[in-house]
Chains A and B, each alone.
Chain A
Amino acid sequence: EAQVTQNPRYLITVTGKKLTVTCSQNMNHEYMSWYRQDPGLGLRQIYYSMNVEVTDKGDVPEGYKVSRKEKRNFPLILESPSPNQTSLYFCASSLWGAGAFEQYFGPGTRLTVT
């Protein structure tokens, strides 16, 4: 089954404790992206990757890191989480680029930082 998977689905952590949210897709997609969704603010892009070893900042990259060592994986790293990073996070992938192709989203990771 073609899908984007994220782990964990739910995470409660404390300020400053490094964490990684994994994202994996099995569709051989070139493009992958991370979004956060907050009430009243909609979906905002954190980072994206056009291909392996190519990553770029989105609209809200502060406090996050990513890597794209393999085509299928695009982990999101929070080196020192803070309460303002409490949010619902979605990973997405698409065939190529960011434009004309359908974005496939993972199921979401609900992160709470206390």
Chain B
Amino acid sequence: RKEVEQDPGPFNVPEGATVAFNCTYSNSASQSFFWYRQDCRKEPKLLMSVYSSGNEDGRFTAQLNRASQYISLLIRDSKLSDSATYLCVVNSGNTPLVFGKGTRLSVIA
């Protein structure tokens, strides 16, 4: 089983739709979880950290399920500007971060 797995997509959704991505991780000792956003040919940028209790930032909600070893990202009221690749990132202490391969989202007018 790969360390961090994501559905590569693409997810093609209309503007205003709600879309959810899941990411599973294999290391039960993982401690820190993040979602990064990467636009085409650009560098990844932190979208949000994922906390045990779940957290929300505007239209974005991140959740962690330790028992099932997955994290999720929910985007409500999708905008055209949300079109990007979303990377799931997991850390297990002082070892290097592990990046998922990303899920591509296209929001269509």
Name A residues whose Cβ lies closer than 8 Å to a Cβ of B: 33, 35, 40-45, 48, 50, 58-59, 88, 90, 97-100, 102-103, 105-108
A-side contacts of B89, CB under 8 Å = 103
Task: Tell me if B's interface is mostly helix, strand, loop or mixed.
Answer: loop
Give the shortest distance, in Å, between A113 (CB) and chain B (any CB): 19
Name B residues whose Cβ lies closer than 8 Å to a Cβ of A: 31-32, 34, 36, 41-46, 49, 87, 89, 91-97, 99-102
A-side contacts of B31, CB under 8 Å = 99-100
Q: Are A108 and B102 in contact (CB under 8 A)?
A: no
Chain B's closest residue to A4 (CB) is B43
Q: Are B101 and A90 in contact (CB under 8 A)?
A: no
Candidate in A41, A58, A99, A108 with the most chain B CB atoms within 10 angstroms: A99
Q: Are B43 and A106 in contact (CB under 8 A)?
A: yes
A102→B87 CA distance, assembly (Å) = 13
- Given A99-B91, A105-B43, A108-B42, the answer on whether A45 and B96 have CB atoms closer than 8 Å is yes
Q: Are B97 and A98 in contact (CB under 8 A)?
A: yes
- Given A40-B101, A42-B100, A99-B32, the answer on whether A90 and B43 have CB atoms closer than 8 Å is yes
A45→B89 CA distance, assembly (Å) = 13
Q: Are B101 and A97 in contact (CB under 8 A)?
A: no
Question: Which of B32, B43, B87, B101 is the one whose CB lies under 8 Å from A100?
Answer: B32
A-side contacts of B94, CB under 8 Å = 50, 97-99
User: What are the nearest 4 A-B pairs in CB distance?
Assistant: A42-B101, A105-B43, A43-B99, A99-B91
Question: Which of B42, B46, B93, B102 is the one whose CB lies under 8 Å from A103?
Answer: B46
Q: Are A42 and B102 in contact (CB under 8 A)?
A: yes
A102→B100 CA distance, assembly (Å) = 16
Given contacts A42-B100, A98-B91, A103-B89, 13 further A-B contacts (CB under 8 A): A35-B99, A40-B101, A42-B87, A42-B102, A45-B96, A45-B97, A48-B96, A50-B94, A88-B41, A98-B95, A99-B31, A103-B44, A107-B42
B-side contacts of A88, CB under 8 Å = 41
